[in-house]
Chain A
């Protein structure tokens, strides 16, 4: 307990410096802008803004990034409620009741419920991280290379299995990420792999070049193609007060708490992103809510629950990132990549070796949550104005920021061209409906995964059996196997004929 208190004190000491407070504020502010702006998701946003953190100490950098992450999660709900266009996938559900509320002139309470729900959930996730993080890190510190390898396989497959419509394509994307992570000089044998004699390929392909190309520039191309046939949107005005009535509060708490707990479980324990969490929460409200019949017609539960859930899940996936070094989502994968670029190795050792970093981040999460609450409600009018920025200007500005960010990283023109290439590739993938996030995940984990694999093989003298002799590794691999195969389980009783025969209706 005393340890915990001194750790918290240490954390607030780090996060409480004026510079870091300012960064938390800037992060939350920029994050909200990103969340509100259509067409820039949290992944694009974090990737584009990482270059700002170059030259900062790692603890300041992660404080800024976490702020952006949180802010973007929150900002998405504002557009869901007012314009019925979710800023990102985790606030799709919020649209249903949130926009309905706005149409009825209750945009204020809906926005308040989203903000307070996010705050409650964010705070809860932070407390859980504080309570269980060190414990989880202590368990993980005993892991050997085989356990870590199996853990990474599990992390990749769980996220992959939730990444897109088609499991095959998501798996391919993950492997593609691993494949390009192999480019460059192999650290353990000093051999060049896939460098084609190119000097800059020796250091490998920078993940940020791929991330910015595949998210930001792809977004640019999508926008360009959409400009010819613009979508009609109607924006609801905020009428009446912002504050919730007593009745609203009464209905808010149970669903917010349900959302927080289920979201934390889905995101933090099961490792399944914020979007799933928000849907699970909506389902719970439909089933157990006191006013379940009103859901869909503008019930406050439909905002409070999912918004709490997606923030709890976002916080939960940070636990994975910090304690195990496994990103639970595309956005945390980008953050992990950035930390690795700064020379940090997230994982169980972080808690013991970099206490100032970890506890500083945790403290800044509290601070960021409070800032979000204070910042968002009064400024909602300003956020709404952002929606009026013309799309073509936004598109051009994304291009400028992408070039600026990628160039400042290595001062390399080749990186710029590579980024454009990945942008075109990303657009092609989008058209073929191949998910992009797994590529980043594979890229970020690739080198480390290979290293753990090779270390395991040294321990076992080349026998793959080592992964089956360690119970923890076996468990991870089983989860991995289950997560890729589960969409096909329903076919097992139908027998193989159905799977391979001509029965499925061709499209």
Chain B
């Protein structure tokens, strides 16, 4: 039962976020879209506004359903037939996830200054330390191939530009 409660709470939070986003988007169509100098039958704000109104409508209905507890058990048979994604039932591992997100952000920010190969290798190793450090030697080799190997394949074979970063100091 605890699991169900958890899911229900998550859906409630989602419904609130959806409603707030829709409202913000709708308001945004008034302030973030300047009027065009060209005279048009349908201006640049009309379509987004229609989308915003529909979105708000749907999320308010959903919000009301959630708040009043009107939600019925989802039709699992139908969900299986149409191939809906499986529900995530395991508890979120917020701590590990947060660390991984931080690694990804660092990966993105260091991508250009340090260069593709070096940042990729460092991020890979950081990820390894977080997720599993039982086979460090084998996995380090995988990491080296995936970062430096990929860099050379992409830049020399496929001629795709990737930031060299610190590698350029060595004339590579």
Contacts and interface: CB of A to CB of B under 8 A. Distances in A.
Interface in A175-206: 175-176, 178-179, 182, 186, 188-196
A462 B42 contact: yes
Interface stretch (A15-23, A63-71, A450-458): A450-458
B92 A431 contact: yes
Given A166-B74, A168-B61, A172-B59, A390 B132 contact: yes
A192 B107 CA distance: 31
B42 to A, nearest CB: 4
Nearest to B113: A413
Nearest to A442: B51
A231 to B, nearest CB: 10
A420 B105 contact: yes
A164 B11 contact: no
Interface residues of A, number: 87
Given A194-B28, A417-B105, A435-B85, A189 B97 contact: no
B108 A188 contact: no
Q: Is the interface of B mostly helix, strand, loop or mixed?
A: helix
Q: Is the interface of A mostly helix, strand, loop or mixed?
A: helix
B168 to A, nearest CB: 16
Contacts of B93: 224-225, 227-228
A424 B112 contact: no
Contacts of A435: 84-85
A294 interface: no
B72 A507 contact: yes
A275 interface: yes
B160 A403 contact: no
B147 A400 contact: yes
A334 to B, nearest CB: 16
Contact of A162 (B51, B82, B87): B82
User: B21, B135, B146 — which one has the most chain A CB atoms within 10 A of its CB?
Assistant: B146
Contacts, number: 234
B41 A461 contact: yes
A420 B101 contact: yes
B90 A164 contact: no
A143 interface: no
B142 interface: yes
Contacts of A433: 7, 11, 74, 85, 87
Interface stretch (A109-117, A364-372, A391-399): A391-399
A432 B71 CA distance: 13
Interface string A268-292: 0000111110010000000000000
Interface in B114-167: 116, 120, 123-124, 127-128, 131-132, 135, 139, 142-143, 146-147, 150, 154, 158-162
Interface residues of B, number: 89
B82 A172 contact: no
A403 B120 contact: yes
Given A176-B55, A189-B38, A396 B131 contact: yes
A265 B65 CA distance: 36
B33 interface: yes
Contact of B108 (A176, A186, A275, A403): A403
Contact of B72 (A403, A453, A504): A504
A193 B48 CA distance: 9
A189 B47 CA distance: 13
Interface string B41-74: 1111111100110110011011001000111111
A48 interface: no
Contacts of B4: 507
A164 B47 contact: no
Given A193-B32, A193-B48, A194-B33, A225 B92 contact: yes
A193 B69 contact: no
Given A194-B28, A224-B100, A228-B93, A178 B36 contact: no
Contacts of A188: 38, 40, 44
B79 interface: yes
A424 B12 CA distance: 18
A233 B138 CA distance: 24
Contact of B55 (A172, A428, A453): A172
Interface string A427-445: 1111111111000000000
B124 to A, nearest CB: 6
Contacts of B76: 165
Interface stretch (A100-108, A345-353, A404-412, A467-475): A404-412
A413 B62 CA distance: 36
B162 A407 contact: yes
A217 B38 CA distance: 41
Given A416-B111, A507-B73, 10 more contacts: A191-B35, A196-B32, A392-B131, A397-B146, A433-B85, A450-B47, A453-B42, A454-B46, A458-B40, A504-B70
The 9 closest A-B pairs by CB, nearest first: A275-B83, A89-B83, A432-B14, A189-B36, A416-B108, A392-B131, A165-B74, A506-B69, A186-B44
Interface of A: 52, 54-55, 89-90, 92, 162-166, 168-169, 171-172, 175-176, 178-179, 182, 186, 188-196, 217, 220-222, 224-229, 272-276, 279, 390, 392-393, 395-397, 399-400, 403-404, 407-408, 411, 413, 416-417, 420, 423-424, 427-436, 450, 453-454, 457-458, 461-462, 487, 504-507
7 contacts: A186-B44, A276-B82, A397-B146, A403-B104, A407-B116, A429-B14, A453-B42
